[in-house]
Amino acid sequence: MPIANTISIEESGGVSFLLIDNPLCSAKISLYGGHLLSYVPKSDGRERLWLSPMAYLNGERPIRGGVPVCWPWFSDNHGKQKGELPSHGYLRTQTWKVTESDESEKGTRVVLSPTFTRGTGFEYDCSVQLEFVLGDVCSITLRTSNTGVVAFTFNCALHTYFNVPNIDKASLLGLTGDYKDKTDNWAVKPTPSPYRFSGETDRIHLSPCPRVSILDNDEFLTDVESRGHDSIVVWNPWHGAASIGDMDAFGYKHMVCVETAYTGGKELQPGETHSLTQIIG
C-alpha cells in the first residue's frame, strides 16, 4: 500500500517508526504498540508529549511515555488476579500495520490496525482501528467494532503523557465533579480547585469533561479535548518514579498524564462501533 508523501519509515532496534513531517507539524509513531511518541506543531515548535529517556524502543516491553493505547481493559481491571494478565491490555505490546494514509489541508492521516484483537481475557470477535490526524492539532481516535454475534463489554484509554516544564508549577483547568483516588483506597473526593500537584496522583475523574487545559504558572500550555469517554484519568507517580525501571527518578517533574478513558465498562452490541477520541492542541 502506498504511504503518504509526508511519511517516511525508519527502522531501529527491530522496530519500525513512522516519521511525519508536513507544513503543520512533525510527529513520530512507533508501530510497536501503535504508539505516538512525539507531536510538535510548527506554529510554536513545542513538544506536547513526554517520552522517558529510559523508554524501551526495541519491542521488549511497553513504551514509557507518549500515547500508550489501553485496550480491552484499563489498569488491572480484567477480572483476574493482578499480574495474571498484562496491565492495560495487550494492544500496546503488538506490532501494528498501516492500513490507510493520506494528506489534506488538515494534515497527515494515518490509520493503524493491530495484529490481533482476540486474546486471553477477551474472547470476542471485533476489529480495532487507531486513526491519527496530525496537523495544527493532533487527533487520535481508537475505534472498536463488534463484528461478532454477541455483545461484549470493554474498557479503553489513550494514556497520554504530557510534557510540562515543572510539575510544581503545573495545574489543570476544566475538571469538575468527583474522582476516585487510587492512592487512598479508591475514596471518592471532590475535584480540587485550583488543581495543582504536590504528591503522587492517581485519579479517575468520573465526570466526562470535554476539555481539560494544562497550565504552567497559570499560563496556557496544552488543551486536551475528549470524546466518547466516561472519565478522565490523571496520573503522576511523584517520588514513586524512582521504583519504575524505565523512568528516571526525577522524570515525574516533567510529565503529567491526562488520559481520555472509558473505565466504567462500555457494552457494544453486534454491529456497533465505539470511538474514543483525544484532540491535543
Burial class (CB in 10 A: 0-12, 13-18, 19+), 78: buried
Active-site residue numbers? 159, 259
Task: Please tell me what DSSP assigns to residue 54.
Answer: T
- Cβ neighbours around 219 below 10 Å, total: 7
Pick from 122, 195, 179, 110: nearest CA to 152: 122
Q: How many CA atoms lie within 13 A of 73 on its CB side?
A: 17
Residue showing cell 510540562: 164
Q: Which helix (H) or strand (E) holds 72?
A: none
Q: Which residues contact 75 (CB under 8 A, 6 or more apart)?
A: 87, 88
Burial class (CB in 10 A: 0-12, 13-18, 19+), 67: buried
Pick from 180, 174, 208: nearest CA to 194: 174
| Helix residue spans in 88-209 (DSSP H) | none
Pick from 257, 156, 162, 263: nearest CA to 206: 263
- For the chain, first and last CA: distance in Å? 30
